[in-house]
Amino acid sequence: MLSKLLNGLFLFQVKPFLFNNRFDLFTWMIMKTGLHQWLLNNPYGWIVCDVFFYSMPLLYLFAYKTSTRLVSAAAVVMLVVNFIYIQCYTLYPTSSVEGFIAWLLFPFLLMCITLKNFYFILHALRYFFLFFITSAAVWKFVQGGIFNIEQMSGILLFQHKEYLASSPDSWYTSFIYWLVSRPYISYFLYLTATVLELSFITGFFTRKRDYFLVGASIVFLLTDSFLMRIPYWEITPFLITLVFSKYSFPSSATFKERNRLV
Amino acid sequence: MPYRKGVAHLSANFLQVVNIIFVTMRRVTSSHFFMYLRQLQKHSPLLTALVIIFICAQLFVILIWGIVITPFYNYGMFSEVIKVKNAYQIFEVELNGKRLRGKDFSPQKWDKILLPLQFYAGIKTSNQLYKSDIKRLLYKMRIPANDANFLLTCNYQQFENWYKDYLQDVTNQKIEAFAVSYRNYQYHSNKLQTSPTAIPLSQICR
């Protein structure tokens, strides 16, 4: 939240003026309401939306401290607010909607008030994360990127073209040009990233390598940040699912005592 | 006889393949994921149904490829073939006679400077997407759509005024003069090299 505020990524700092359509059936339903149009050039609307969205964890905390019944209700409210806010936010010039997937799915985990449900949803999210990363590797085979030696050089030029053209004297520009002019080295990075992504498939068979997968995710995020200048940190909540996967299914004996989470 | 030997060899190979498939299937079905599903089914059939619906919806989005339905996406970023091109169209932003440089901004701030320009340039494509596909699909699903919610008009004067204020906030500089152009760059001798052909922003979306 602090990082978003400092980088000017709250809605009131983005000051939406225009939007672009995208091919998402759910987004069209939100667009049909006209909410995204209402928010254009509407400073009060931005502040209201930011307050709603960023106060949801506090609402949940309040419910958690107050009453068991309220916890699920607070999580449902959080789910609805997150879905609506993120749909509108990503229609404006901000970032891609896929990066917000943790904001969209974690409220399901927070809805659980029993230990067993929590355990199962946590694991469902873990499998989703494994699928998310593994499928990114599979797409590279399906769409052919992995079979193109020029791939990473092409990506780097496409991704950084404005940076490279505007800052020809920077060390980062020299570094990117160095990689672009050596397609085998840059392709090796692309291939390594794909193999790393593909290694997440092991998570479907065993939980023993989850710590390796946490490490791989962190390496992946750091590299993404440095090499592509894409901050993808909002998916980090999924790492929690890998860290906590070591805990086994709550047994019936202990279950009676620890059944209720709140 | 060579013919019989060939058949025997082929059937042995076939049995080997069947065996490999069988062993793989056994490994898959005894995997942690299937054990999880079995445990979940014992715990709550309702939760199992929800998880299976989620999986089916995700598979459906993969199979229809193209359209997505939040929260089911295709995670194929940078997976399509991307070649090094000879020419690139690049936005140049000048503020008080000085060009803005990527190295002076964090990735997030640099994106904040460029993305509105890309979105402004993309208005026509976005409108076209609505007219050619979104409207048709909504009509097919018998969902009435209001054009005003999906279409934007290119009003350069309004955009320029807004972008000027916006840029002032992002860069923390008072703006006296500012210019944006969309210039053609050639990639040769391992460098992006500027060319005289540039389109002013006012001409990009008309």
Are residues A50 and A141 both part of a single domain? no
Are residues A127 and A228 both part of a single domain? yes
pLDDT, tens only, B51-75: 999 999 999 999 887 789 999 999 9
State which of A83, A111, A139 marks the end of a domain.
A111
Partners of residue B93 on adjacent β-strands: B180
Q: Which of B27, B75, B159 is best to mutate for the A interface (most A CBs within 10 A)?
A: B75
pLDDT, tens only, A153-162: 999 999 999 9
Are residues A7 and A22 both part of a single domain? yes
Eight-class DSSP state of A111: T
Are residues A123 and A93 both part of a single domain? no
Q: How many Cβ atoms sit within 10 Å of the Cβ of residue A17?
A: 20
Are residues A102 and A128 both part of a single domain? no
pLDDT, tens only, B158-176: 999 999 999 999 998 888 8
Are residues A253 and A123 both part of a single domain? yes
- Report the amino acid identity of residue A257: E
CA–chain centroid gap for B25, Å, is 34
Residue A260: predicted pLDDT: 57
pLDDT, tens only, A53-68: 999 999 999 999 988 7
Which residue in the set A8, A144, A249 is minimally distant from B170, CB to CB? A8
Statement: residue A234 has pLDDT above 60: yes
Q: Is the CB of B174 inside 8 Å of chain A's CB atoms?
A: no
B residues 45-104 lying closer than 8 A (beta carbon) to A: 47, 51, 54, 58, 62, 66-71, 73-85, 88, 90-92, 99-104
> What percentage of chain A's residues is helix, strand, coil (to nearest 5)?
75, 0, 20
Are residues A105 and A128 both part of a single domain? no
ipTM above 0.90, yes or no: no
CA distance A64 to chain B (A): 23
Q: Do B145 and A164 touch (CB under 8 A)?
A: no
Partners of residue B188 on adjacent β-strands: B191
Tokens of A121: 């949803």
Which residue in the set A18, A28, A161 is minimally distant from B192, CB to CB? A161
State which of A66, A85, A111 marks the end of a domain.
A111
Partners of residue B95 on adjacent β-strands: B98, B178
Are residues A249 and A120 both part of a single domain? yes
Ramachandran angles phi, psi of A66, nearest 5°:
-90, -60
Strand B191-200 versus strand B178-188 pairing type: antiparallel
Average the pLDDT over B42-50 and give the result. 92
* Structural domain span for residue A106: 1-111
Q: Decide: A161 and A175 in contact? Cβ < 8 Å.
A: no
Q: Do B107 and A231 touch (CB under 8 A)?
A: yes
Are residues A52 and A140 both part of a single domain? no
For chain A, the domain total comes to 2
State which of A111, A141, A170 marks the end of a domain.
A111
Are residues A148 and A34 both part of a single domain? no
Are residues A149 and A211 both part of a single domain? yes
Are residues A78 and A137 both part of a single domain? no
Q: Decide: B110 and A229 in contact? Cβ < 8 Å.
A: yes
| Residue A209 exposure: Cα atoms within 13 Å on the Cβ side | 14
Q: Do A164 and B76 touch (CB under 8 A)?
A: no
